[in-house]
A = this chain, B = another copy of it.
Amino acid sequence: MGTKELILEKALKLFSEKGIKETTVRDIAKAVGITEGAIYRHFESKDQIVYDLFGRYSEELYEKLEKAMEKQTDREAKFKEAVKIFLEFAFRNPDAFRFMNIFHYLRGKEVRKFRKIPFQLLRDLILELHKEGVLRTEPEYALATLTGTLERVFLYKSMGILKGSRKEIKERTAELLWKALAECGS
């Protein structure tokens, strides 16, 4: 792996563990095994690393969700597939997922600078399902339940509160959310 990739990888891990401001350029350099100055051969600034990471993983999740949803024609399958893809990404890239949440939390306003925000896709999905009458819960509430539950499922899994294989968790969560929002909606 190139040094640049290594920097991104180590920075991501540190950002997700300690926070962005709490991670110094020196921390990153030490984790990579180079010195501080060398970081600046690859990135203009610390913030550039942050932006690169956020943009890269946002886009990756966005495209995975987009691709997966395109394949499905059935509404239920589409919804459940979105949930699974989302959790699959979080389980596979826990540091990235945590980092993205931190970025959203503390620097939410800067999110606008990016295109391909996964949240947009989930919102569109919910709106679409609602328009088609499949999802009778108001879309704003549905969105809150969907995104909130997804984030917490990831969190509780990484904290060891939620047991079970990834597959089981993904399927159970998809099932639960579908029931809650579509079948049970009022």
* Contact (Cβ within 8 A) B143 A156: yes
Q: How many copies does the complex hold?
A: 4
Kindly identify, within residues 137 to 186 of chain A, every residue whose CB is under 8 Å from any CB belonging to chain B: 137-138, 140-141, 143-145, 147-153, 155-156, 161-163, 172-173, 175-177, 179-181, 183-186
> CA separation between A183 and B186, bound complex, in Å?
12
Q: CA A149 – CA B181 in complex, angstroms?
A: 12
Instruction: Say yes or no for A21: interface residue by CB 8 A criterion.
Output: yes
A111 to chain B, nearest CB (A): 11
User: Shortest 3 CB-CB distances between A and B: which pairs?
Assistant: A148-B148, A180-B180, A148-B152
Nearest CB in chain B to that of A155: its residue = B144
| Chain B residues with CB below 8 A from A150, complex form | 148
Kindly report which residue of chain B lies nearest to residue A177, judged by CB atoms: B145
> Separation in Å of the A159 CB from the closest CB of chain B?
9
Cβ A179 vs Cβ B175 within 8 A:
no
CB closest residue in chain B, given A138: B172
Q: Which residue of B lies closest to A183 (CB)?
A: B184
* Complex: A176 Cα to B135 Cα, angstroms: 13
Q: Are B153 and A151 in contact (CB under 8 A)?
A: no
* A176 partner, pick from B141, B155, B175, beta carbons under 8 A: B141
A49 lies within 8 A of chain B by Cβ: no
* Min CB gap A85→B, angstroms: 18
Shortest A165–chain B CB gap in Å is 14
* Partner of A186 from B162, B163, B179 at Cβ < 8 Å: B179
A18 within 8 A of B: yes
Q: Is the CB of A180 within 8 A of B184?
A: yes
Nearest CB in chain B: distance from A116 CB, A? 20
Cβ–Cβ contact B141 & A173, under 8 A: yes
